[in-house]
Amino acid sequence: MRKLVIKSFLVVFLLLTPTVDAGIDDEVVLNKAYIKTSWGFAHFVDNKNVTAQSRDSTFPNSKYDILYDSAQSFSVAVGNKFDNTALEMSFDYIEADIDSVKSDTLRTYNGSDISTHSFIINGIWYPERLTSKLGSLYIGAGIGTVFKVDLDQNKCTGARCLANEGFKSATDEYQLAYQFLVGGETEIGAGFSLYTEIRNIFFDNVALGRDNHNETFNNMDLNIMAWNFGVKWSF
């Protein structure tokens, strides 16, 4: 899976490399590379009835509710625009505070957080009817991989926590990630644009193994909404 992901991103990188067509008028750019970065707000949909498998006979397998609080999103992308379409590759980091993690034997209070790291390849379409001198609206979808998820439980109480005040759960497996997005951008001059995007991001079958614990959160699907604001430079 990891080799396939690496090869896929290499192919996309080559496709994103800008080319020059000497027969095209300077005012009509059909192949324009760009870099963009953004920050914004995010919201994690609560995870209910997450199974935790344990090899510790003292605590049998149980169900957890993971309830999220405020979150933020950071994204960097490189891409290439072809007339009214674009292809881009983005790196996304999303972090959320956790309100609580609850089961019959564990309760985690404020201070915990979860973070995700992902690469996603997006296809974007700029409808001509939604493009004017003021700016452009666009829609898109993407597919990629979430390659790291960290669940940091800093303030843990209850029988399962034993003597540990905090412990971490993490995965570095490559799992499926996909998203849908809608956005708008407006040029401000010298190749720079301001833009905003609303994205719905999905990470499938994330499994989190705990440090110093023979226990794993299994098959946890993450559903995230993000609203970002950023700057784009085309060249």
Query: What mean pLDDT is reported for the chain?
Result: 78
Residue 58 DSSP symbol: T
Give the residue ranges of DSSP H helices in the chain: 2-16
- The sign of the dihedral angle between the CA atoms of 120, 85, 75, 226 is negative
Residue type, 187: E
Q: Pick from 191, 190, 186: which is nearest to 234 by CA?
A: 191
pLDDT at 162 over 50: no
CATH number assigned to the domain covering 2-18+39-234 = 2.40.160
The CA angle 204-111-69, to the nearest 5 degrees, is: 55
The domain segmentation of the chain, as residue ranges, is 2-18+39-234
Question: What's this model's pTM, rounded to 2 decimal places?
Answer: 0.79
Instruction: Say if CB 44 and CB 96 are below 8 A apart.
Output: yes
pLDDT, tens only, 177-225: 999 999 999 999 889 999 999 999 999 888 776 655 555 677 788 999 9
Distance CA 232, CA 235 (A): 10
Q: What is the pLDDT of residue 166?
A: 45
Looking at the DSSP bridge assignments, the partners of residue 133 are: none
Winning range, highest mean pLDDT, from 34-38, 150-154, 189-193, 219-223: 34-38
pLDDT on residue 25: 44
Helix (H, G, I), strand (E, B) or coil at 11: helix
